[in-house]
Amino acid sequence: MTEQASAGPSSAGTRLAGIVGWPVAHSLSPVIHSYWIRKHRLDAAYVPLPVRPGHLETALRALPALGFRGCNVTVPHKVEARSLVDEESALAGTVGAVNTIFVRDGRLIGANTDVGGFVDGLHEQRPEWHRSGRRAVVVGAGGAARAIVAGLRAEHGDEIVIANRTVAKAEEIAAQFESVRAVGLRELEAELAGAGLLVNASTLGMGNGPTLDPDLAGLAADAVVADIVYVPLETALLRGASRRGLATVDGLGMLLHQAVPGFEGWFGVRPVVDQDLRKHVLATLEK
């Protein structure tokens, strides 16, 4: 499920990549990639690239001329970026969004590494998550939810339920996959009965905003509860799961693992997600 384009031929000078978004100053991607660049002693740099809405095409088309090997794409540009690349991966097409771009021979190749990033993070923190006969429930219907459903559908043979406040948005995702159905957020607790995996793929719980804190009593005793939110690292959902003795997965894993294929494609070295990297990023979050 790795989304990566092979590294192009080496060129003289510092190898460049970055992250395109608006705003982008809050992104942790420069922290992650700069850590790996230092660790592997590369002549490379990864920089934030603030691009206002309406200027994305100009920015992306300038990447080859500026010597960039590619970039990450974040909010609000992931969907638009898909329409601007010269070629896209199958996963980017399925998800309907591009979060990683590789420059190859002046062409822009779009990929989506969020899919593999979530699944790899889940496997790393809770390898026991994959159990047969257990429903998976995903909250949210945005780009992250679409990527997570795609990842789960590829590895999880059982039913997946998408719960969202606006049911129509969840239905759009469900229509793309087999054995996936949509419900309203009010039906969430009923759908948790006997479920083996619950994933918050929404912004609920982020910062000081509204939280997601359902009654988790219906979940299987050995269920796994995951949250893609990483600020705060322990959300109300994860606290509630821990109180019930359920296994939890925080949002940092997906963030770290989705960065791996891009780094390898741009700089020619496959980095490792380990505890030293996690500690480094956590220290940044705590500042």
Which residues participate in catalysis according to the annotation? Answer: 78
- Pair type for strands 100-104 and 68-73: antiparallel
Contact 95, 112 (CB under 8 A): yes
Burial class (CB in 10 A: 0-12, 13-18, 19+), 31: middle
* C-alpha dihedral (83, 84, 90, 93), degrees to nearest 10: -20
Contact 250, 241 (CB under 8 A): no
Amino acid, res. 110: G
Query: What is the distance between the alpha carbons of residues 273 and 121, in angstroms, rounded to a whole number?
Result: 9
Contact 19, 27 (CB under 8 A): yes
First to last CA, the chain: 34
Contact 144, 114 (CB under 8 A): yes
